[in-house]
Structure 1
Amino acid sequence: MRFEGIFSPSITPFTREEEVDSSKLTEYLDFLIKGGIHGLFLLGTNGEGPLLTFEEKKEVIRTAVEHVNGKIPVIAGTGCPSTKETVELSKYAEKVGADAVHVVTPYYYPLTQNGVIKHYRKVAESIELPIIIYYIPERTGVKIDVSTLLKLAGIPNIVGVKDSSKDVIWAYNAITLVKEERSDFVLFGGSDALIFTHLILGADGVVSAVSNVFPEIVVELYHEIKKKNLGRAKELQDKVLKIRQALKKCPYLAGVKAALQLRGLDFGEVRSPLEFPDKEKMHELERALRKVGVL
């Protein structure tokens, strides 16, 4: 499997009782695949991974792997606050056939750089699957120095990093310095506002929240950059930015599922304690998306 292009940080559909809805999940995955996305990034921020139980995470991974059946790569989110839990869930993802795992930096407790290295090394030693480091310091409270990333890139099955720091200098240093030592190391951008920037600087792909709702637009942006049609690519990046701004009118994380509803695709609401937009906010979101011309 090649880890490049547009990967969707797929949502987790819920029933009205906030239970995982596996049948809706398969329907949603078909929508993404039809939209042309190049891979799945399960149980990340948009997938509400931290709000799911251990068994629910297993259900999502198993359902996605079985349904996708090799059409596109499935990168399963297995990162937990403890190394022990991360190892257990990573072994499960390997057992059921995921193509790779992404492992978020352990959150809540402050970690030293040595602690970060020990964590990822232990996970890497427990499985043979490729591992993508999920770097999102705003949410985890833990930063990874580029020098630390260089050390982690020396572990054979740690194959890449998803950078959601929005720190372009960090990303540029990571792309240039790490690839000098290991040319096959993958860097995914993690911000819809920086798709154009990350890809132009040499990133292999992007994990795009906007692609959860409008996969066709983000995939077109990627292909226009690959074809070096930078003028058209910039127009599409501007559109993606406006969509991102519209989604942010909703309570945190809820904009994606709300916008899907506006597209006629009801995959439930967000899990408590997250909030879904009220009618006024939904109307505001609809007006904003219509102004962008995507509804």
Structure 2
Amino acid sequence: MIEGIFPPVVTPFKEDESIDEERFASFLEFLVKRKVSGLFLLGTNGEGLSLENEEKIRIMEIAVETVKGKVPVIAGTGAITTRETIKLSKEAERIGVDAIHVIVPYYYPLSREGILRHYAKVSQEVDLPILIYYIPSRTGNKIDVKMLCELAKLRNIIGIKDSSKDVTWFYNAIMAVKKENPDFVFLGGSDALIYTHLMLGGNGAVSAIANAFPEIVIELYREFRAGNLAKAKEIQDRILIIRQILKKYPYLSGIKAALKLRGIDMGVLRSPLVFLNEDQLQCLREELKAVGVI
């Protein structure tokens, strides 16, 4: 069972935008020592779509070598075509990751048949457990609850990471799928909704804030599982404030900037994404100090 808090691990870059392998390994150790439940590689916050396949392979290799089985490593292998998805998924299998997450193919509008055939082919060709990565605001393609029930019956498809932020969809999906497949994993994909997703029966969350402040997000999860709902809700409120602060800044820059302010410099974002300028960094420092996280 995959459950708990999984940071969508950020990818560190040098000034020339090449991957900083040493810093990446060190950051993985930082996360594992803080008791994250596992690592979610090559997602949105990891700038996975900005990486070439050779770089993705290297990220997976470093993670498996560094973690040494201490926590599950879930790697993103989804691509715009089924052929490319299978190719990278087989590399993930060779490397030895514990599971893969496969994004709903993007850019081209897809029919119901196209989505079902895509996941069916990947599940037939790859032996690793597969999580569907559902983020319709980015892919432009939606999965309805009936379709998810069909996907949940496919070989090796064990769960979904839901970044739709649609609470009604999540609730309907978890009720429908778990009726037939109680072990199917539901991971929330929004820091604003961790408490809500857990209340509705979710297994955990992929939390961007858990990159920079893993202790806070893990505390929420532990308090919730211990039945301390008021305390868990109080921590969720704090996480929401942190999220609101980070969202003020250029896309994906907030987490790397917060890490830098914690003394963990993960470098720049890969162009055309942009990092904070000095004035913005100072403003962020003051805002995070005000809420007591740095």
TM-score by length of 2: 0.99
After TM superposition, the structure 1 = structure 2 runs for residues 4-153 of structure 1, keeping only pairs within 5 Å, are 4-153=3-152
State the distance in 1 between where 2:155 and 2:82 align: 19
Spell out, residue by residue over 1:65-115, the C-alpha distance to the aligned partner (whole angstroms, 9 max, x if none): 111110000001000111111000000001110000000011110001111
Amino acid paired to 2:71: I
Corresponding residue of 2:192: 193
Runs of 4+ residues deviating >3 angstroms: none
- Is it true that 1:215 corresponds to 2:214 in the alignment? yes
Amino acid paired to 1:96: I
Corresponding residue of 2:165: 166
C-alpha RMSD of the superposition: 0.7
Asked if structure 2 preserves the Cα contact closer than 8 Å seen for 1:249 and 1:281, the reply is no
State the distance in 1 between where 2:210 and 2:44 align: 14
State the distance in 1 between where 2:287 and 2:142 align: 34
Q: After TM superposition, give the deviation of residue 156 of structure 1 in Å.
A: 2.6
State the distance in 2 between where 1:100 and 1:242 align: 32
Unaligned runs of 5+ in 1: none
Spell out, residue by residue over 1:198-230, the C-alpha distance to the aligned partner (whole angstroms, 9 max, x if none): 001100010000001000100000000001101
State the distance in 1 between where 2:171 and 2:39 align: 24
Asked if structure 2 preserves the Cα contact closer than 8 Å seen for 1:160 and 1:187, the reply is yes
Asked if structure 2 preserves the Cα contact closer than 8 Å seen for 1:258 and 1:277, the reply is yes
State the distance in 2 between where 1:69 and 1:44 align: 21
Amino acid paired to 1:126: E
State the distance in 1 between where 2:98 and 2:196 align: 27
The percent identity for this pair of structures is 57
User: Is the partner of 1:109 in helix, strand or coil?
Assistant: coil
Unaligned runs of 5+ in 2: none
Spell out, residue by residue over 1:121-149, the C-alpha distance to the aligned partner (whole angstroms, 9 max, x if none): 11111111100000000011111011110
